[in-house]
Amino acid sequence: MIGDLVTTFCIIVAAIVLYRFRAPIIDRLRRFDHENRLRIAQQEREGDDPVAHFRHALAIAEDQVEAVTEIRVHDERLGTAVTRFLFLGEQFALRSEAERARSEKIRAITMQYYRDLPRALYARDDGKLSN
């Protein structure tokens, strides 16, 4: 009897809490649904695109590489603070140089992926070549 009362109380409290926070929960669910619909539509468009695989591989490689960060350092020659751009622990004077280094890193990761792809596909199919 007391157990049923406690269970009922917990269900009512949970319903009140859900009702209180329904707007943010519904907003997040709508945003998730919207992003999911966009992703599905993008995948359907990519079905007809012959270079979609390359674009997808570049996007995956870009996610693996850190972004260029802006830092302020003390310049010993001038005695003032200057802006530098940091990528993989290396400082660059210009953002374009740092972005170029980042692009080269992304390109290297993607090229390595395509070098390893035939070997991985061959291993996955237990050494059988399929047409």
Cβ pair 75, 38 in contact under 8 A: no
103 and 42 in a common domain: no
Domain boundary among 16, 32, 48: 48
Task: Give pLDDT, residue 129.
Answer: 58
60 and 2 in a common domain: no
CA 32 to chain centroid: 15
68 and 42 in a common domain: no
Between CA 112 and CA 60 the distance in angstroms is: 13
Would the pTM of this model clear 0.85, i.e. be above it?
no
- Residue range of the domain that includes 7: 1-48
73 and 58 in a common domain: yes
| Terminal-to-terminal C-alpha distance of the chain | 68
Q: What are residue 71's phi and psi, to 5 degrees?
A: -130, 155
Per-residue pLDDT, averaged over 10-30, amounts to 92
Match 């649904």 to its residue by tokens: 33
Nearest to 69 by CA among 40, 91, 47, 37: 91
Provide the number of structural domains found in the chain: 2
42 and 3 in a common domain: yes
Q: Cβ contacts of residue 98 below 8 Å, gap of 6+?
A: 68, 85, 86, 87, 92
pLDDT, one tens digit per residue, over 53-103 is 888 888 899 999 999 999 998 888 878 889 999 999 899 999 999 999 999
